[in-house]
Amino acid sequence: MSISHLKIAFLLLHLHLINAHTVNVPKVSAVLVFGDSTSDPGNNNFILTAFKGNFPPYGRDYPNKKPTGRFTNGLLASDMIARYLGVKDNVPPYLDPSLTVHDLMTGVSFASAGSGFDPLTPTISNVIPLPRQLEYFREYKTRLAAKFGKARTMEIVNNALYIVSAGTNDFVVNYFTLPVRRQKYSLPSYMDFVMNKELDFLQSLWNEGARKIGVVGLPPMGCLPIVITLFSDNAFFDRGCIDFFSSVGRAYNSMLQNRLNLMQLDHAQQGGRITYIDAYSTLFDVIVEHKYGFKEVKRGCCGTGLLETTVLCNPKSSTCPDASKYVFWDSIHPTEAVYRIFFESSRSIVDYIVMD
């Protein structure tokens, strides 16, 4: 072989090694999560609230059958996103005292089951408000800076993926169930109120250095088993979705998409993306269109599946033998199988948010 051929061979080998190395480099520095029970991996374990999921049968299909505090039978979509991006196997709760600074640097969740954008919502269950989650994020940055310095910390912060998933509790647990907000706000004005709180939170997150933000919309709330049970005229015999509640989700999501588009334009010169992630269509396809072949779409796997959630879904509750055939684990929260479908349907959006 000539010297020129050897040079070409070495060059090709070098390029191959570079490409092989690049494949293993995560697309983001960390995954950082804010919101409610759809993304709380166990922060509520460490606060004084009854709204916990750190006991069986929660976690029945999690590795080692461990009830972590996730309000489902296994993984959350945020865990799957972290795995997909090559950051870590699952996103732990920020309040877990066993986490090291190296655990922190690749991402945590600040989310708290039962929380919402309306300041009244987290007080109902005594859980962590969104502004407090933001304070924890500032504390998180301080802890990283103490170890890695401010420059490295901001590099991590700027290159992390942020997931914000909340809002359902503001309507289902707060506005539609309790009288306080209905006495003060019409439904349209309350939607505006929650929207402004959400946008304020997102702006504050941006001000802290977030540049890759995915914002999850509301689900078809009228299809949640607990909503059907509480608000249907004949809930034990007619378990169909109540479109009024779902229509609120559609209207709010439309407003949210428009406002996020405007927010994106306002920040275009600074780089980064603030992007809507559609949860409504996925759940609608699963529940109403029956596109994925689930056996049970109207009640949860735990107990009767009509009202059980948190302490009502407990070690004494009966459960379905195969949760993968159920849309809901309890009367509010999806099964891991549905979170996986949501993750798969959102991958292209995640790729768009994190791309350079």
Nearest residue to 218 via CA among 192, 190, 185, 245? 245
How many residues can be counted in the chain?
Answer: 356
Banded pLDDT at 236 (limits 50, 70, 90) = low
Helix (H, G, I), strand (E, B) or coil at 328: strand
Torsion sign across C-alpha atoms 274, 95, 336, 129: negative
Q: Of 29, 165, 246, 333, which one is the catalytic site residue?
A: 333
Helix (H) or strand (E) run with residue 257 in it: helix 243-266
Banded pLDDT at 14 (limits 50, 70, 90) = low
Interatomic CA distance for residues 162 and 190, integer angstroms? 26
In the structure encoding, which two tokens stand for residue 144, read together?
């990283």
Q: According to the model, what pLDDT value does residue 138 have?
A: 98
- Amino acid identity of residue 16, one-letter, is H
70 and 41 Cβ atoms separated by less than 8 Å: yes
> Phi/psi of residue 278, each to 5°?
-85, 110
- Whether residue 3 is predicted with pLDDT greater than 70 in this model: the reply is no
- Amino acid identity of residue 185, one-letter, is Y
Number of Cα atoms under 13 Å in the Cβ half of residue 328: 26
- Whether residue 160 is predicted with pLDDT greater than 80 in this model: the reply is yes
Contacts of 216 (CB under 8 A, 6+ apart): 35, 38, 163, 164, 165, 277, 279
In the structure encoding, which two tokens stand for residue 228, read together?
């059907």
Q: Of 37, 112, 115, 346, which one is the catalytic site residue?
A: 37
Q: According to the model, what pLDDT value does residue 140 have?
A: 98
Q: Where are the beta strands (DSSP E) in the chain?
A: 31-35, 161-165, 212-216, 273-277, 296-300, 326-328
- CA-based end-to-end distance of the chain: 41
Task: Please tell me whether the peptide bond between 219 and the residue prior to it is cis, using omega within 30 degrees of 0.
Answer: no
Burial of 132 (0-12, 13-18, 19+ CB in 10 A): middle
CATH code matching the domain that covers 28-354, chosen among 3.40.50.1110, 3.30.160.40, 3.90.550.10, 1.10.3470.10: 3.40.50.1110
Catalytic annotation present for 333: yes
Q: According to the model, what pLDDT value does residue 27 have?
A: 85
Helix (H, G, I), strand (E, B) or coil at 92: coil
Banded pLDDT at 233 (limits 50, 70, 90) = confident
Number of Cα atoms under 13 Å in the Cβ half of residue 326: 26
- Whether residue 283 is predicted with pLDDT greater than 80 in this model: the reply is yes
Interatomic CA distance for residues 185 and 197, integer angstroms? 15
29 and 63 Cβ atoms separated by less than 8 Å: no
- Amino acid identity of residue 81, one-letter, is I
- Amino acid identity of residue 242, one-letter, is I
Interatomic CA distance for residues 91 and 83, integer angstroms? 9
Q: According to the model, what pLDDT value does residue 234 have?
A: 73
Q: According to the model, what pLDDT value does residue 21 have?
A: 45
Pairwise pLDDT comparison (316 vs 235), residue with the higher score: 316
Can you give the pTM of this predicted structure?
A: 0.92
Domain ranges of the chain: 28-354
Catalytic annotation present for 348: no
Catalytic annotation present for 14: no
- Whether residue 20 is predicted with pLDDT greater than 50 in this model: the reply is no
- DSSP line for 136-203: HHHHHHHHHHHHH-HHHHHHHHHTSEEEEE--HHIIIIIITT-SHHHHH--HHHHHHHHHHHHHHHHH
- Whether residue 329 is predicted with pLDDT greater than 50 in this model: the reply is yes
Q: Of 36, 330, 331, 345, which one is the catalytic site residue?
A: 330
Interatomic CA distance for residues 315 and 330, integer angstroms? 13
